[in-house]
Amino acid sequence: PAAGGVPAGRGRAAAPREPLTHILIEGVGGEKRHCGAGGAGRPPLPAARRQRRRDRAALGGETEQPSAAAAAAAAAPPPAPGSSAASSSQRRGAASRAARREPGPGPFRGSPGSDTRARPATPDRHLSAGTDTRGRGIVRTSVLVTGVQVSSRIFMVWFIAHSIKQIQNEESVILFLVVWTVTEITRYSFYTFNLLNHLPYFIKWARYNFFIILYPAGVAGELLTIYAALPYVKKTGMFSLRLPNKYNVSFDYYYFLIIVMFSYVPLFPQLYFHMLRQRRRVLHGEVIVEKDD
């Protein structure tokens, strides 16, 4: 202790510190930068943030700008602890931090600098009116149903009516041909006007009402035609393959026609009741919930 019992270094005023004129800041990657007195310079940004800014500039996005509230909070002098200004400063600081965390434009969706706000959906230019958005087609009927209908008509025309000349003058042949003609004129008129966005109500009404009579009449005409062809097929043995042969396979067209006739029993009700459900949905606005196949 010094004279008077006062320890050395005590009781003496501390020497005033010299003002900080500049500091040397070492950034990421060894980058060094000087900041002048008063904070005129700014420390270097982290590498990830600099990369995001470069990406936004390349994509034409705007760089992040601090909000007015954040700038005012940063410029205000620090309030004394415990004062009301301190609590308001804390609120301003929280607001500025929330503003900095607000998503802005960025190169990658979901990244820290990306824009996560919802954008309005733009219409698909490739879809036209009446187009099925699931299959990108103009006819909503499934491929299986359409394939069964087309195959049955090819079969009736070429393998029954055209191949067996004796039945071409039967009334049943005229019946199913007239039914097919009216059905297809109504069906494709409906598709055409629907694509043109000008669907007359009569066409829509005919599309979902004519089938109530036409479908049973057409099926009756087809079945009667096949039944009339059975005696000629059995007598001539046409399209049949008898044993023995080099393939060791037999095929009897007569029994095949009988199987085809019985196949109408499970298939026709499914198509008919499907059209009835479609009729209730289109003409009466009922919501039909169908089970998955």
Bridge pairing between strands 22-26 and 32-36: antiparallel
Cα gap 147→190, rounded to integer Å: 20
Where is 24: in which H helix or E strand? strand 22-26
Q: Is 136:125 a contact under the CB 8 Å cutoff?
A: no
Q: Is 222 a catalytic residue?
A: yes
Task: Quickly list H helices, 15-124.
Answer: 47-58, 68-75, 84-101
Among candidate residues 208, 222, 253, 254, the one labeled active-site is: 222
Q: How far is CA 19 from CA 38, 41, 75, 78, in A?
A: 10, 16, 21, 20
DSSP 163: T
What the block records as the tokens of 70 is: 């954040």
Least Cα distance to 97 among 115, 73, 78 occurs for 73
Q: Is 73:93 a contact under the CB 8 Å cutoff?
A: yes
Alpha carbon 281 to chain centroid, angstroms = 23
Among candidate residues 215, 227, 232, 272, the one labeled active-site is: 215
What the block records as the tokens of 136 is: 């990108």
Cα gap 152→172, rounded to integer Å: 16
* Residues annotated as part of the active site: 215, 222
